[in-house]
Amino acid sequence: MNTSINELRKKNIQTLIKKFVSVKNNQAIEIQSVPILNYTDFYTTVVDIIKSNDTFHCVNYYAYPQKNNLQCIIAIADDETKNILLLSHIIENAKKKKLESITQSIEAMHIFEREIAENFGIYFENHPWLKPIRYPHNREDTSQNIYNYPFYEIEGSQLHQIGVGPIHAGVIEPGHFRFTCHGETVHHLEIQLGWQHRGIETLFLQKTKLFQRNTLAENIAGDTSIGHSVVFCSVIEALNGSPIPQKLELERTIAMELERIAMHTADLANLSIGIAYQLSASVYAALRTPIINFLQSWCGNRFGKSLIRANGTFHPFSLILAENILKLLHNYEKKFDQMSQKLFSLPSAILRLKGIGNVTKTQAQQIGAVGMVARSCGIIRDIRASHPSMAYVYNPYFTSITTTGDVFSRALLRRMEIKKSIRYIQSLIHLWKQNNETIPSPILDEQLSLKKEHIAFSLAEGWRGEIVHSAITDSTGKIIHYKIKDPSLHNWKALEIALRELEISDFPINNKSFNLSYCGNDL
Amino acid sequence: MIAELKLLKLQGKQYIPDITKATIPPPFKGKPIINKEPADKDLLESICPTNAIQKNPFSIDLGKCTFCGACAFYAPQKITFTNEHNMATNVRENLIITEGEENHILLNEALIRKEIRSLFGRSLKLRQICAAGDNSTELELNATENVNFDMGRFGINFVASPRHADGIVISGPLSVNMAEATQICYDAVPNPKIIILAGTDAISGGIFQESPALKREFIQKYSIDLYVPGNPPHPLTFINGILKLIRKKM
Ligand code: SF4
């Protein structure tokens, strides 16, 4: 009995999958081969497939403008087959159109529909939270600006609101946090972003040179320079149809994991400041320094800017660097272990970290959480394992998760991931040493010829979570649409949820435990 | 307790004893040297992502340069990035390095307002404004206060309130959406006050030049006390720049 139901379900899923075109991560296909459905069909297909199994989640849904129409393209990751499923619908004469909102059925879609609504003035009916997400310069409704954001209001004589930002107390990026409180208790937190908007997606089309775009990618979020520039280069290489040497892939993967170690360590330092434990704050901060200084010894920049270029690099890895990093990681790990054993067994620290800022697995699934946030709630979601590229393809990465969804869970996951990244880098160096390929210099504009009328999606697991870039070319091979998704786009909602019914004084450590990107959201 | 002390001992001494003499090992890209060798200047001009390279006379504007190293990679005979990290100045033009010129980047002493040294020489509190910075400059500014660089030893600190500050440090290219907040914050700082621009994005807009989402009037409206180049600026560039601004002898 059970097997037949299962088989029926499988068959059902198979039929649904056939409505999409399936591609692999970093595969370019003709834009025409993306099926176009009418909106009703699109709606049910998308809802049915995402509801059918946890292994499906939407990695991007965006509108690409053509004359008066909008082609809305959805990319759904199918973790079981390691495929990306693409589908689209077209909104004709898109001005002021109304569409039924998919968010009613799948909450995780809320952010994508909000983005389309804000950019193009599409009204999604029955969307529960159709609010601006970044006030971009080219938004449809310029009568609204960032100072008249429609905050959610709760009325009550005992309630008060606290507004924080855009400029915060510390040296961090700007964002506005609006708390609705009863005494010390936060009933509702709403995060309003957009202050960092620099028009990056517009600039990707305005600045047509490869090095310009590469530099833009490095500056989407400076703490994820490597992550975003790797994904950018993958899109370009996919559209150019030029495979890169395995050795270069290994080097990029080493860089990705180093970025992860550096930022996770910085986060543990910041969390320590949050709980006023000076010792681990200093130790972790001091441990991060040699890692970023190593990146500097590799490419001249502590954040790895200028390291990643399409098809080649200015800064090939070397035997000396390999020996240095192995030695460095060895020393790092010794100190890291001693400090972490202390921190994670210190009763006063655990008391501060455990049981606060809870996000449940169900909530994380609902909001479409990705990366660290998903994994700290027990969801196995990791592009390195589910849609691998670079060295993750032939040197598998096994994902770790923690399950309690609180500040402690997020701290512990960082500790575990740092350890894993150290092991993983060691294995990469081993592979690198066996590889005799030569690393080319970066490709130049004249050598580049992008496939015409193609679309490509590239995904990678940055230290925060999945980074997705996508580009579309026209009949001359010119890029006419570029779309960027930083993992923080989804995960900001998790911070709002985590704060509910907490004391407002717990906000700083919660914020630090997520460490989301403002500029990654604002673009 | 014993365990904590052991951990502390394991750390050793972390601070850099003399900030003014500290060096950064290559391949750190600091001030470039451009010699008079011939090179394909058109290629170099077109390769530069931020229009930092000008042909006549051949020069690199460190206020626009992202230190990506592309120019030096394609014309190593002409352009070398040294590890000289002392690049901050109070004169915008001093950031333009012309071919054949090998001078240090200096501050123009005559242009430093008297009250800066008399009031801020031993204590300078700064309010940082991230105006669409990408978080790398912000991380480096935070690093200036860590156990290595320990900027606090000079009486220089970042503070939470503009009311407690003697000046502002702007990072990022100044987005339209941050324009008003930047102005409000600056206005809230009591007089006399200074303005420091940290990083290429703040100085010129960097790779974001010509973006329709920027509003940079603030920069044009006021005189800038210190330009700190870099993408992001290295903590040593930042700290030494400020020390040169606020202290006569070092
Ligand atoms: S290093 Fe500076 S001047 Fe040279 S190409 Fe890069 S941005 Fe331009």
Q: Closest chain B residue to A297 measured between Cα atoms?
A: B27
- Report CA torsion sign: A266, A213, A244, A435: negative
Q: A322, A433 in Cβ contact below 8 A? A: yes
Reported as half-sphere exposure (CB side, CA atoms, 13 A), residue A250 has a value of: 24
pLDDT tens, position by position, A240-299: 998 899 999 999 999 999 999 999 999 999 999 999 998 999 899 989 999 999 999 999
pLDDT tens, position by position, A162-202: 999 899 988 999 999 999 999 999 999 999 999 999 999 99
Q: Closest chain B residue to A336 measured between Cα atoms?
A: B7
* CB pair distance less than 8 Å for A211 and B70: yes
**Residues of chain A with C-beta less than 8 angstroms from the C-beta of B25:** 297
Residue with tokens 């998903």: A374
Q: So what's the pLDDT on residue A39?
A: 94
Cα A501 to its chain centre, rounded Å, is 27
Higher-pLDDT residue of B8 and A474 is A474
**Secondary structure of A194-213 as H, E, C letters:** CCCCCCHHHHHHHCCCHHHH
Q: So what's the pLDDT on residue B147?
A: 82
Distance from C-alpha of B13 to C-alpha of B237, rounded to nearest angstrom: 22
Which ligand 1 atom is nearest residue B29's CA?
1
Q: So what's the pLDDT on residue A144?
A: 86
Residue with tokens 């400020």: B242
- Which residue in B3, B25, B231 is closest to A305 by CB distance? B231
Q: So what's the pLDDT on residue A5?
A: 80
Q: B88, B240 in Cβ contact below 8 A? A: yes
Distance from C-alpha of B197 to C-alpha of B195, rounded to nearest angstrom: 7
Residues 6+ apart with CB under 8 A from A72: A61, A62, A63, A64, A88, A89, A90, A91, A116
Q: What is the mean pLDDT of residues B183-203?
A: 95
Tell me the best of B28, B50, B207 to mutate to test the pocket of ligand 1, counting ligand atoms within 8 Å of each CB and taking the most: B50
pLDDT tens, position by position, B203-249: 999 999 999 999 999 999 999 999 999 999 999 999 999 999 998 76
Q: How far is CA A397 from CA A232, A326, A421, in A?
A: 22, 19, 9
- Which residue in B10, B49, B140 is closest to A215 by CB distance? B49
pLDDT tens, position by position, B67-99: 999 999 999 999 999 999 999 999 999 999 999
Q: So what's the pLDDT on residue A3?
A: 66
Distance from C-alpha of A249 to C-alpha of B185, rounded to nearest angstrom: 45
Q: So what's the pLDDT on residue A379?
A: 95
Q: So what's the pLDDT on residue B250?
A: 53
Rounded to the nearest 5°, which phi and psi values hold at A51?
-75, -20
pLDDT tens, position by position, A386-401: 999 999 999 999 999 9
* CB pair distance less than 8 Å for B234 and A169: no
How close is the Cα of B221 to the center of ligand 1, in Å? 28
pLDDT tens, position by position, B6-34: 777 777 777 888 888 889 988 999 999 99
Distance from C-alpha of A73 to C-alpha of A470, rounded to nearest angstrom: 11
**Residues of chain B with C-beta less than 8 angstroms from the C-beta of A306:** 66-70
pLDDT of residue A1 exceeding 60: no
| One-letter identity of residue A298 | W
Q: A287, A199 in Cβ contact below 8 A? A: no
Q: So what's the pLDDT on residue A2?
A: 61
Q: What is the mean pLDDT of residues A467-480?
A: 95
* ∠ CA A17-A19-A24, rounded to 5°: 55
Q: So what's the pLDDT on residue B84?
A: 92
Helix axes B136-143, B235-246, angle to 10 degrees: 60
Structure tokens at B175: 């987005």
Which ligand 1 atom is nearest residue B79's CA?
4
Q: A488, A517 in Cβ contact below 8 A? A: yes
Q: So what's the pLDDT on residue B59?
A: 93
Q: So what's the pLDDT on residue A67?
A: 83
Cα A225 to its chain centre, rounded Å, is 12
**What confidence category does residue B102 fall into, taking pLDDT thresholds of 50, 70 and 90?**
confident
Residues 6+ apart with CB under 8 A from B12: none
- The average confidence (pLDDT) of chain A is 94
Instruction: Please count the helices (runs of H) and the strands (runs of E) in chain A.
Output: 17, 13
Q: A517, A490 in Cβ contact below 8 A? A: no
Q: What is the mean pLDDT of residues A485-514?
A: 94
Classify each residue of A419-439 as buried b or exposed e, where b means 16 or more C-beta atoms within 10 Å of its C-beta.
bbbbebbeebbebbeeeeeeb
- The average confidence (pLDDT) of chain B is 92
Q: Determine if ligand 1 sits within 6 Å of the CB of residue B200.
A: no
Q: What is the mean pLDDT of residues A325-332?
A: 96
How many residues does this entry show for chain A?
Answer: 523
| One-letter identity of residue A386 | S
- With CA atoms as reference, report the closest residue to A417 among A261, A233, A206, A243: A261
Helix (H, G, I), strand (E, B) or coil at A64: strand
Tell me the best of B31, B66, B82, B207 to mutate to test the pocket of ligand 1, counting ligand atoms within 8 Å of each CB and taking the most: B66
Q: How far B110 CA lies from chain A's nearest CA (Å)? A: 31
pLDDT tens, position by position, A198-247: 999 999 999 999 999 999 999 999 999 999 999 999 999 999 998 899 99
- Which residue in B4, B136, B143 is closest to A279 by CB distance? B4
**What confidence category does residue B101 fall into, taking pLDDT thresholds of 50, 70 and 90?**
confident
Structure tokens at A494: 């998790």
* CB pair distance less than 8 Å for B231 and A282: no
Structure tokens at A329: 């990681």
Distance from C-alpha of A445 to C-alpha of A439, rounded to nearest angstrom: 18
